[in-house]
């Protein structure tokens, strides 16, 4: 699986051995778990030449304060 990874900070950032410049986008084979990146999954359709890129969004879990109010 391939991932399109973009540095969303305005400064240089390291991910293991890889250095991202401010706002730089790279294609990686592994998905970073840091929230400093915008991660999109690259899906390839087998019957066509199109490549689909879907942004991976994290689920927002309610905090205990919000749970108590409901």
Band of residue 69 on the pLDDT scale cut at 50, 70, 90: low
Q: How far apart are CA 52 and CA 48, in angstroms?
A: 11
DSSP H helical segments within 15-70, as ranges?
64-69
Domains in the chain: boundaries? 2-69
Task: Specify whether the CB–CB gap between 52 and 45 falls below 8 A.
Answer: yes
pLDDT tens readout for residues 56-66: 666 666 666 65
Cβ atoms of 38 and 55 within 8 Å: the answer is: yes
What's the pLDDT tens digit per position in 18-53? 999 999 999 999 888 888 999 988 877 665 566 666
- DSSP lists the bridge partners of residue 21 as none
pLDDT at 43: 78
């Amino acid at each position: 699986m391939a991932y399109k990874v973009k540095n969303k900070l305005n400064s240089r950032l390291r991910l293991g051995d890889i250095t991202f410049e401010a706002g730089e986008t790279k294609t990686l084979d592994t998905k970073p778990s840091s929230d400093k990146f915008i991660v999109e999954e690259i899906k390839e359709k087998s019957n066509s030449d199109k490549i689909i890129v879907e942004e991976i969004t994290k689920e927002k879990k309610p905090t205990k304060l919000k749970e108590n109010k409901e």
